[in-house]
Structure 1
Amino acid sequence: MSVYQIGEIVSLLFMAIALGMDAFSVSLGMGMQQVRLKRIALIGLIIGLFHIIMPFIGILLGQAISTQIGQFTTLIGGLLLVGIGAQMVFSAFNHDTKKIVQPVGIGLLFFAISVSLDSFSVGLSLGMSGVKTMIALMLFGIVSTVLTWAGMILGKKVHGLLGVYSEILGGSILCGFGLNILFG
Structure 2
Amino acid sequence: MNLSSTLLLAFGMSMDAFAASIGKGATLHKPKFSEALRTGLIFGAIETLTPLIGWGLGMLASRFVLEWNHWVAFILLLFLGGRMVIEGIRGNDDEECEPLQRHGFWLLVTTAIATSLDAMAVGVGLAFLQVNIVATALAIGCATLTMSTLGMMIGRFIGPLLGKRAEILGGIVLIGIGVQILWTHFAG
TM-score scaled by structure 2?
0.85
2:51 alignment partner in structure 1 = 55
1:110 alignment partner in structure 2 = 110
1:16 alignment partner in structure 2 = 10
- How many residues are treated as equivalent by the alignment? 175
2:166 alignment partner in structure 1 = 166
Q: Quote how far apart the aligned CAs of 1:61 are.
A: 2.7
| Contiguous gaps of at least 5 residues in structure 1 | 1-6
What per-residue deviation string (whole Å, max 9, x for no partner) do you get for residues 74-100 of structure 1?
A: 2111211121111111111213799xx
Q: Quote how far apart the aligned CAs of 1:122 are.
A: 0.6
Cα distance in 2 for partners of 1:132, 1:69 equals 21
Cα distance in 2 for partners of 1:70, 1:151 equals 28
Cα distance in 1 for partners of 2:69, 2:103 equals 21
2:65 alignment partner in structure 1 = 69
Equivalent residue for 1:43, pick from 30, 39, 42? 39
Q: Does 1:175 align with 2:169?
A: no
Cα distance in 2 for partners of 1:91, 1:63 equals 41
Cα distance in 2 for partners of 1:67, 1:29 equals 33
Cα distance in 2 for partners of 1:134, 1:91 equals 39
TM alignment of 1:136-147, pairs within 5 A: 136-147=136-147
Cα distance in 2 for partners of 1:135, 1:70 equals 23
Question: Conserved in 2, the CA contact under 8 Å of 1:103 and 1:111?
Answer: no
Question: Conserved in 2, the CA contact under 8 Å of 1:79 and 1:182?
Answer: no
| Contiguous gaps of at least 5 residues in structure 2 | none
1:32 alignment partner in structure 2 = 26
Q: Quote how far apart the aligned CAs of 1:70 are.
A: 2.2
SS of 1:170's equivalent in the other structure is helix
What per-residue deviation string (whole Å, max 9, x for no partner) do you get for residues 99-120 of structure 1?
A: xxx8323212211111111111
2:126 alignment partner in structure 1 = 126
Q: Quote how far apart the aligned CAs of 1:8 are.
A: 1.2
Cα distance in 2 for partners of 1:132, 1:107 equals 31
1:4 alignment partner in structure 2 = none
Cα distance in 2 for partners of 1:140, 1:64 equals 22
Question: Conserved in 1, the CA contact under 8 Å of 2:36 and 2:150?
Answer: no
What amino acid is aligned across from residue 150 of structure 1 in structure 2?
L
Identity of aligned residues (%): 30
Question: Conserved in 1, the CA contact under 8 Å of 2:57 and 2:65?
Answer: no
SS of 2:55's equivalent in the other structure is helix
Cα distance in 1 for partners of 2:154, 2:66 equals 31
TM-score scaled by structure 1?
0.86
